A and B are shown apart, each in its own frame.
Chain A
Amino acid sequence: MAKNKKATKKQKRFVGLGFVKALCYLLTFPVIVALAFLICMKTAEGVSFYSFWPYVGAVVAGLFLIIFAIVALAVNSPRGRRKHNAMRRTASLLICCIVLTGVFGLAFDVVLPDVIAKATSNTLYVEDVYNNGVDQAETIKGYTRQFVRLNLVNGNYDGELAYVTFKDLYEDPDSDFTAAVEYYTDVYKDEAEDETFFEFWFDGNQDFEYTSDLDRELYDFIYNSYILMDYDFALNNSVERKAFCLALVEQYSATYEKLCEEGFKTNGLGALATTGNDRMTWIYGKNYASMDMDGYLPFNDDSGLGYATSNRMTIPVVIRLILNDSYTYTQPVYAEDGQTIIDYDGFMTYLYMPEIADEYTGDYDENGRGLELFQASDGNHYYAYETGHVDAIINWCVLDMLGDPMPLAELDLGGLLGDDIGAILDMIGGIGGILSGQSGNIEELLNEGLTNKVIVEATDGQKLYLHLYVADNGAIGIALVPQAIQYGFLGYQYMTWLESGNLLVTICGLMSLRNLLYIFGAVSLVMIFAIGVINAHIEKKREELEKEEAEKEDAEPQLVEA
């Protein structure tokens, strides 16, 4: 009886130690997997269209867990326990753990950096993702949203949602859109500061049901890329332009959020897609092919592009890259007379150009695309769509590859010239309407004359826009704007990122694993060692117990004989 009680006590202690061992096992690779999963979840936020790719880091961690579990089971199996003592088994597990954590961590540091740089064409480095993986993933997601914004507002996605469409509506004083602009004008005038206005508007107004971050993003984009580039608003720093922008945000908000959520996930409808992510995916695929084959590749042959991506954009480099005559993949197909262009063999770009599309008078196919190529009044050739879109040929410029407007100067004339000019500028601000009224003439001079005639002539078809605007702080700004923005393109690097967006978020998630492997690898080693010490203790106690029992068994038969 006493013997049984003692044995039970020892068994309970072993059970208790077993529980501790289980806890220690949980604090090894399972923790790494759990944390990797959390990081991957954050990376995957907002890009559900990348399916499992953001979770590759967690999958790799899971693989390590499985390998470790197999080794642990093998080492601690009855056969394993018979063959080796606790410390030896512990050493085996330690080696397995250090290989899976420390050695792989070192591999991330030593082997992967150059591999990743090469794989992403030096657009993404491990330094960007080691400690900033989640932020970097947010940046990549941001480009997805930017592409959606560009192609939503320029009408590529839907002509009825184009900026120019709303501009036309605004000319009708009875339209709902005009009423909305007037409403926001009144509201805006009551607010003193921009920030409080937005706090009021997006958080306090019940009419808005959408996330304020996306709406704010949309507002900033439309204001900077369209309002300040539109000569009807650019030279007149007024409440009206802000209100116009708000009214536009209201129109786009729901569609924009939906498209951002769906991203580039496709269900295979391709060219036939008329709505949703399929259409955006199709637009991306078609237009990217043109940029890649007729834009990037020819420039890539010119070593000057290397200068453009390595902070060597001096004026001579820019001029050379703009004026250099390079080949394009897409070539015209001529009729028998050798003069008339009847088709293009290669890649065309899908754009919303209703004035051009309206010039086509022929028939359309089942996809709504014109059956024949036609020459529009601007001298270029297009395929027209019933929806107001066209397939066009674009002559790419190096600034299109970079994607951003090149601000040339922003002159604070009031500050430069002192108060004497300040009063004059105030007066000019007061007669802003007169300048806006001249916007047509300014646009004619800068866009029609300078861009469409002079620059196109000099660059053999490339378009660069020289924009003047009055910034909100009263300074006069001048910017050189590539055509790519208007046509719905990001810079080449970012368009390529979108194509391999799943790879990039994978890298972000995977590289975040590196830190976990180092830190929790160390913790895992201590846990495994603790398990080893516990096992050694249990073994020792079991041996003592067995020895005691053996000695007692030997003693008992003597009593019976007596």
Chain B
Amino acid sequence: MEQRVKKAKLFRTLKVVYYCLGLPVFLLAVFTLTMSNIGHNPFMGDYGEGLFTSIKSLLSAPAMYAIWIALAVWLVIGLVQIICKFAIKNRRTRAMVVVAIMLIVLLVPMFAIDAIYTAKLETLATEVAEGVVVKDYNYQLSYYRTHTSAAGNNGLSMKTSLTDTLKNTVEQYLKVYNIPMYGSFKGGNAANFTNEALYYDDFGYDYNADGVVDSYDHILIRNEAKGEPGDFNKVWADSLVLTNMYGENPVEVFGNFYSVHYTQAVSPDASENVECYVWYDGNKVVYEKSEGVYGEAYYNKNGMLADGYIYSLDVALRILEDYYQSQEDMKALFKATGKANEAEFRAEIEAEAAARREERYTGAEATEEDIFLWGRENAMAADYSLTVDELNRVLGELGGALGSAKLLEELFPIINMVVSGGLSFSVGQILGMVLGNMPETLAFLSAQLTDLVNIKLAIAWSGNLQIVLKDLPGGQPDVTIDLDDNFSVATVKKLISSLGISNNMLAEIITMIGLEAKADDNSLTGLENMLAGLLENLYWYTSPVLAPVYDFYVNEDLDPEDETDAAIMAYQEAYAKYKRAEYEGGLHGYLCGSRLIGGSLGSGNYAESHGLQNLTAVKQLQTDLEYQPTMYSILIVRDMLMTFAAFILFFTMMSYIAADREILWATGKIDPSKGKKAKKGKKADKADENNKEVA
């Protein structure tokens, strides 16, 4: 009896142990391999703010697909076992049916994954652009994770798995372009504020509680904001142009603070300038992502990216794709346009587009809203842009402040005592420090101005701060520049001329660092014109409501049926795409520290050569991101299904056998006397009997 109980307990334990060595070990293996992908871009999905959203985002990440599939397999097998438990009474038949179904459940997903991805990759390989490589399924299945280590070869020939290659590539470009993929920045969720002025609806306060936000509420809101009827330039029902009688800024309305900007606008009949108050909510964000030119992102109403928007990787790649694709398109289309000179043609497109845009907002068909917006936004642009006159004023202020600084006045005599000959630096060294991150610029300068490195820049004091250029080439006399109120563009011109840098050379340097500059001649006027053009290009205020000039590049008056006109329109469209991408990836990126296009990338730490250099590289990365994160995760479970199928079945069968034995022992159907020891005992007894008989 005791032996029966012991045996039954033994087999019960074995039953559980065998089961645990099957599916749980399989799941553990899948989990272990999946861990290497969790937390790594691009295997993680979009980030969500808040606990539940972030959990949801983690659970839906591509890295987790392997675990979900493995759990689904276990769930299905579990359900089959439960159903069979009740449906089939005979233990052995039940075991057989379960095992047979398990075989199907384990192997069919494996073959299905093979079939689906083989077909998918074959199709993808035919659809991708020229130069983009999609390796066949067998190759990717073999190399998505590697089995061979670098043992014995000093690591020189170590094979990197495709998964690691993908991770490294993505991390590399995130770093270069300074696209944050962590925390709330992931997916371009953060910093999506807009400079769009407020409308009535933005206050959204049903002041009189009648269930509707309408003009009555607006009047009441206006009163709340201390405006008086008559002082208020209302142009149309949807806008909000409140006065700000108190002159304070910010203004509190219903517990929220708003900043108010005063500017000039144009009256609806364009007859006079009017005062205009523009209200801003500093916390105003674009709340929802929407589909736009570059896919899902945060956009202003006019279709441009939201002012503070920091790209997601997908959007950045779309911008770069447009940037390179449009250049190829223009190259292919230019000949058909019949134009003689491409640069002139482009300038013509830009000029005509600007004119069409102005016509749209001020012409015969413009509405009151259009006219008002145009006036207000242009005034805003002027308020936030820097002209040459303003630059001169700024330089004058700077010169005056530095030149007569009390601190410097007292310091310099001491410095002169300590450092004989005064403070002096090599120009070459200074430029090296400043332009060190832009080696091509420095190389250019070094090549052009071999004497530059020998020029000394000395700081001196003679009642005011002075910059003295010494050791000028060709035995030229020292050049002294006073820093005072008269410091201006002209003074700067004298300084850079003394260094031997012409306006043309300066323009080339500026172009090298990613901005457009062109010098007409080497005069002061030429420099001022160049700076004016440069500052115009640094259009610091971009209207979030006016349609961008790129929308007007295509001349709709041309005849698309005519071959030449069609080519011109196609070229204009490509050029619009190019300029928009150049702005969104260039200046927009520059302003938020994630520059995609231009002299130095990201936040300025990487030269342009570190980025994606051409359309093929961009499309390759886009294609890889399209399928590899999901596929490599699923291949983990496919691999483990193949490796563990036999072991799962084996241990499940052993578990059933142990269960069978447990029942047999527990129900007494196994006679302990028929066991080995009993047999040995019987044999011994028989031998004794035989011996006795003989005796």
Contact = CB atoms under 8 A, between A and B. Distances in A.
B380 interface: no
Contacts of B139: 131-132
25 contacts: A87-B660, A90-B653, A90-B657, A97-B650, A98-B650, A102-B647, A105-B646, A114-B148, A117-B153, A117-B157, A122-B153, A122-B157, A127-B147, A128-B142, A135-B138, A309-B156, A309-B157, A518-B643, A518-B645, A518-B646, A519-B107, A522-B103, A525-B646, A533-B92, A533-B95
A126 B147 contact: yes
Given A94-B654, A118-B153, A533-B93, 5 more contacts: A114-B151, A127-B159, A130-B142, A522-B645, A525-B653
B647 A98 contact: yes
Contacts of B154: 306
A94 B650 contact: yes
A323 interface: no
A128 B153 CA distance: 18
Contacts of B143: 127
Contacts of B157: 117, 122, 309-310
Contacts of A306: 154, 156
A114 B149 contact: yes
A114 B148 CA distance: 5
Interface in B299-343: 335
B99 A526 contact: yes
A497 to B, nearest CB: 15
Interface residues of A, number: 45
Interface string A80-114: 00000001001100100110011001100110011
Interface residues on B, range: 35 or more
Contact of B156 (A105, A135, A310, A530): A310
A523 interface: yes
Interface string B142-170: 11001111011110110100000000000
B654 A521 contact: no
Interface string B363-384: 0000000000000000000000
B642 A519 contact: yes
Interface in A104-163: 105-106, 109-110, 113-114, 116-118, 122, 125-128, 130-132, 135
A315 B157 CA distance: 20
A518 B645 CA distance: 7
Contacts, number: 114
Interface in A177-213: none
B205 to A, nearest CB: 62
Interface string B564-576: 0000000000000
A537 interface: yes
B241 interface: no
User: From DSSP, what is the main secondary structure of chain B's interface residues?
Assistant: helix
Contacts of A456: none
Interface centre among A114, A116, A529 (most CB of B within 10 A): A529
Contact of A522 (B106, B142, B149): B106
A125 B148 contact: yes
B661 interface: yes
Contacts of A130: 141-142, 147
B649 interface: yes
A131 B92 contact: no
A130 B106 CA distance: 20
A326 interface: no
Interface string B280-314: 00000000000000000000000000000000000
A118 B152 contact: yes
Contacts of B96: 529-530, 533
Contacts of A94: 650, 653-654
Contacts of A132: 138-139, 142
Contact of A91 (B95, B99, B647, B657): B657
Nearest to B650: A98
Contacts of B156: 306-307, 309-310
B649 A522 contact: yes
Contacts of B253: none
A533 B656 CA distance: 11
Nearest to A116: B148
B650 A525 contact: yes
A483 to B, nearest CB: 26
Contact of B103 (A105, A310, A419, A523): A523
Contacts of B687: none
A101 B646 contact: yes
Contacts of A131: 138-139, 141-142
A124 to B, nearest CB: 10
A109 B643 contact: yes
A522 B142 CA distance: 21
A150 B644 CA distance: 47
The 9 closest A-B pairs by CB, nearest first: A522-B645, A521-B646, A113-B147, A102-B646, A122-B157, A113-B148, A131-B138, A522-B646, A127-B142
A118 B653 CA distance: 39
Nearest to B148: A113
A522 B147 contact: no
A334 to B, nearest CB: 40
Interface string A509-524: 0000001001101111
A529 B139 CA distance: 35
A536 interface: yes
B435 interface: no
Contacts of B496: none
B100 interface: yes
Interface in B622-675: 642-643, 645-647, 649-650, 653-654, 657, 660-661
Contacts of A523: 103, 107
B262 to A, nearest CB: 53
A97 B649 CA distance: 11
A99 to B, nearest CB: 10
Contacts of A310: 156-157
A117 B149 CA distance: 9
A316 B507 CA distance: 36
B138 A109 contact: no
A87 B642 CA distance: 26
Contact of B649 (A87, A307, A526): A526
Contact of A113 (B110, B149, B645): B149
Contacts of A537: 92
B148 A519 contact: no
Given A102-B650, A522-B645, A109 B106 contact: no
A50 to B, nearest CB: 23
Given A135-B138, A306-B156, A522-B103, A91 B654 contact: yes
A121 to B, nearest CB: 9
B615 to A, nearest CB: 15
Nearest to B656: A529
Contacts of B141: 130-131
Interface centre among A101, A116, A122, A537 (most CB of B within 10 A): A122
A419 B335 contact: yes
B151 A522 contact: no
Interface centre among B147, B151, B159 (most CB of A within 10 A): B147
B117 to A, nearest CB: 12
B649 A525 contact: yes
Interface in B228-264: none
B14 to A, nearest CB: 11
A97 B647 CA distance: 10
A525 B651 CA distance: 10
Contacts of A533: 92-93, 95-96
B449 to A, nearest CB: 28
A135 B650 CA distance: 33
Nearest to B342: A418
A126 B159 CA distance: 11
Nearest to B670: A85
Interface centre among B106, B138, B141, B157 (most CB of A within 10 A): B157
Nearest to A110: B147
A90 B151 CA distance: 41
Nearest to B660: A87
Contacts of B99: 526, 529
A339 to B, nearest CB: 43
